[in-house]
Amino acid sequence: MRALRWTALGWIALGSLLAAPLTASAQETATDEAGTALTRYYDAMAERRLLARETGSASQLRDLVRAGERLYLDDRFEEAQRILYEAVESPRFRDFDSLDEYREAEFMLAGALQRLGALRSAWRYLERILERGAEDPYFGPAYRRAVDVALEEANLAQAIERLQGVAPQEILPPDAANELLYLQGRERYDAHDWEGSARLFEQVGRRSRFYANARYLQGVIAAQAGRLDDAEDQFCAIATTEDTDSYTFFVDRRYFEIRDLTWLALGRVAHEARRPEDAFYYYFQVPQDSDRVAAALFEAAWAMYEGDDHDTAVDQLDQLETRFPDSPYVHEASLLRGYVHLARCDFEDADQLFRAF
């Protein structure tokens, strides 16, 4: 049976799991167009004197933003964006654009639009915040959200150009500079410029939320090039870092997904290096509540089969069949089980499995 080998194409696919870009849909386009239409609507109302600028007040704006905030925090983004649009686009409140509440409404509106998939409209409001400069209190959060929007929209080169136009890289605060470095690295990675992307990822600092992402992709690049020891070092820098009182690196919700991918990657590196026991150890570290458990069980079974530990291979396949009967690995697992029987000289059982497959 052909050994399970992780080709360069396979490692590219593994790296792409980290942040698969979203494609534009009709719903996203409709939401973007609705935002533009609302802006035109408010302006037309004002021009016809049906909406007087002087009817607004700072207290009314604050009440409106608080109502939008409650909806936003309840994840009711469709309702929140309607209220927040009024706060930031109605001529009634344009005289109050220097207030903190107005700036907060802009930032929340960008977030609501992002969650609704209206990425172009979200970017428009984020860019409006960023153009005020790094001294604006919402510059840092808006820069991070702009990078998230860019990663979702997948037009990284254009996003990088526009972000550099807002503020030159050399004057960015450290956090924003790390964000841009990671985005530049991702753009080079997606273009298969492995050396260029690795140089950029190497510069992403430990205090960046993308530090673990950058180390992971450096490991994928090294694995693609066959530098398995280097790849293992990069992956271990994420997965095996002990929790201590001292600061190690920034952790957010992304980290736990990356850590699960990293244990899989370590298992694959050990498997590729023909170290089945190490591979099994790494696969076993994938948390039992992870979405990657089925993949870990299947790949651990492969590693054990190739390491001639047939009992452990069968145990992993039994767990996979019992716990994940509808997993994408079910058919391949039955084929692997047949080869385990073949290796044990259980020819009749093997023959039945092969015929069923």
The residue with tokens 């960008």 is: 110
Q: What is the pLDDT of residue 92?
A: 85
Sequence-distant contacts of 338-341: CB under 8 A, at least 24 apart: 339/1, 339/305, 340/305, 340/310, 340/313, 340/314
Q: Which amino acid is at 275?
A: R
**Two structure tokens written together for 247:** 């600061």
Q: How far is CA 37 from CA 30, 43, 208, in A?
A: 10, 10, 37
d(CA 37, CA 31): 10
d(CA 197, CA 184): 7
Q: What is the pLDDT of residue 50?
A: 45
pLDDT average per 10 residues of sequence, the chain (357 residues)? 51 53 46 56 52 70 95 95 92 88 95 94 94 92 96 92 90 94 96 96 93 94 93 89 50 76 94 93 93 95 93 94 92 90 87 85
Q: CA end-to-end span of the chain, whole Å? A: 15
Q: How many residues does the chain have?
A: 357
Q: How far is CA 205 from CA 77, 170, 174, 213, in A?
A: 33, 15, 9, 11
Q: What is the pLDDT of residue 128?
A: 94
CA torsion angle 147 150 152 156 (round to 10): -120
Q: What is the pLDDT of residue 29?
A: 53
Burial class (CB in 10 A: 0-12, 13-18, 19+), 100: exposed
d(CA 155, CA 146): 12
DSSP 193-259: -HHHHHHHHHT--TTSTTHHHHHHHHHHHHHHTT-HHHHHHHHHHHHT----SS------HHHHHHH
d(CA 151, CA 330): 33
Q: What is the pLDDT of residue 20?
A: 46
Q: What's the farthest any 2 CA atoms get from each other in the chain?
A: 89
